[in-house]
Structure 1
């Protein structure tokens, strides 16, 4: 299995390396205030891909954190309701036994 993973990684690296070689032309990137610089196309594409991945990972992490807190709140609420139900069951059982004792 590890061999297949390494083969996949090598093939992916070769494909991405070939893509980078084919897209080495310079492109103009215009910043604010009229500033313009030239960068290789592959770097611009990589920067936007990395930025998008970072934003996506941040949103996913935030969503997971919110869900984890909600699950903890619901578990606490469930424990509270289970304790109340157990207390009521004890009261009902004690109430049923009390008349027999008299």
Structure 2
């Protein structure tokens, strides 16, 4: 099964690599205030992908920190290690048997 997974990964990599080799035409990216950047299409796409990943991680980092802090706080509290006390069931808690 691991061999099949590695073969699929290798095929995916080769496909992406072939697409990058076929898309080497120069493109111009126009920025703010008249700035321009020229480079191969594959490189521009790679840079944009990396910037998107970094931006997504930057947006998610406070949420991850908050979740880790909450998990650490929950595991450190003594109430989390003991199961909640259950009271005796009342007769009104059970559905009527017909």
The TM-score normalised by the length of structure 1 is 0.62
Unpaired segments ≥5 residues, structure 1: 83-102
* In structure 2, C-alpha distance between the alignment counterparts of 1:81 and 1:52, rounded to whole Å: 38
Question: Any idea what SS the aligned residue of 2:39 has?
Answer: strand
Question: Any idea what SS the aligned residue of 1:5 has?
Answer: helix
Cα separation, partners in 2 of 1:30 and 1:57, compared to 1, 3 Å: same
RMSD: 2.6
| CA displacement, residues 64-93 of structure 1 (integer Å, 9 cap, x when unaligned) | 2211111233444x52698xxxxxxxxxxx
TM-superposed CA distance for 1:11, in Å, is 0.4
Considering fraction of residues, name the structure with more helix.
1
The TM-score normalised by the length of structure 2 is 0.64
Query: 2:74·2:80 contact (CA, 8 Å) conserved in 1?
Result: no
Question: Any idea what SS the aligned residue of 2:24 has?
Answer: coil
Which structure would you say has the larger Rg?
1
Which residue is 2:52 aligned to?
52
Provide the aligned length of Structure 1 versus Structure 2: 82
TM-superposed CA distance for 1:33, in Å, is 3.0
Unpaired segments ≥5 residues, structure 2: 82-98
Question: Any idea what SS the aligned residue of 1:24 has?
Answer: coil
* In structure 1, C-alpha distance between the alignment counterparts of 2:74 and 2:57, rounded to whole Å: 25
